[in-house]
Amino acid sequence: MSFNSEVIQGISVVTTTWNEVENIEELIRRVRSTLHDIPNEIIVVDDSSSDRTFTVAERFADVAVRKIREGQTQGLLYGAKLAKFPVIVTIDSDLENSPELIPKLVEKTTVFDLVVASRSVVPRFSERWAAKTLGKICGISDFYSNFRAYKKQIFAKDLIGGETFGGELLIVAKKEGFR
C-alpha cells in the first residue's frame, strides 16, 4: 500500500463505546495488529457504560475517557480533538466494520481529506434517503457510516457541534473546501 507522509507519521483511531465489554478488547487487539508497522494510538470515549467497558478500555487503549451521556457524536468529536497524529480513523466499537480495512481506507488520504467506508447495505430508511439525496451532493454513498479516515486539519476549527456527526461533518467539510 502507498501511504502519504502524514500516515507514516501516525494514525489515531477513535471509537466510542456504550456497553461494549464483549467487543472492545478484540477491537483494540485487531487495530494494533493491523497497524503494527505504523505509529498509532487508540482513543476510546466511553458514554457511561454500565458494564466493564471503560475498565477494559483503560487497560488496553492508549487513551480512555469517560463522558456522561453525551452521545456518539460528541464522543467522536472529543476523541478527534485528543488525537495526536495527522490522520484520524473513526470506527464503531461493535465490530460492524473490519479493523483490517483501515489501511485501505487510510491509503485514500493521499488524495482525499476525508474518506468514508460504505456499508453494502444501508439499514434504515432515513439513511437510505440521505444516501440518495444528501450523499449525492457530497459524492458519498453511505452518509452515516462512522468508519472514516480524516486528515486532522478538518477538526482544527470548530466546524460542527450538532448531534449528526455523520451528515453534518460531511456537508461542512465540503463547504469548507475539503476533498
Residue 41 belongs to some domain of the structure: yes
Residue 166 belongs to some domain of the structure: no
Residue 167 belongs to some domain of the structure: no
Q: What's the pLDDT at 31?
A: 98
Residue 44 belongs to some domain of the structure: yes
Cα-based torsion angle of the residue sequence 150, 151, 153, 158 in order, rounded to the nearest 10 degrees? 0
- Domain total for the chain? 1
Residue 148 belongs to some domain of the structure: yes
Residue 128 belongs to some domain of the structure: no
Residue 108: other Cβ atoms inside 10 A: 14
Q: What's the pLDDT at 112?
A: 87
Q: To the nearest whole number, what is the mean pLDDT of the chain?
A: 82
Compute mean pLDDT per 10 residues along the chain, 179 residues long, and list them.
Answer: 73 98 98 96 98 98 93 88 96 96 93 78 51 53 74 72 56 54
Q: CATH no. for residue 59? A: 3.90.550.10
pTM of the model: 0.81
Residue 31 belongs to some domain of the structure: yes
Residue 72 belongs to some domain of the structure: yes
Largest Cα–Cα distance in the chain? 42
Of the candidates 82, 90, 81, 86, the one whose C-alpha atom is nearest the C-alpha of residue 115 is 90
Could you list the residue range(s) of the whole structural domain that residue 96 is in? 5-121+144-153
Dihedral of alpha carbons 34, 39, 45, 46, sign: positive
Q: Which amino acid is at 37?
A: D
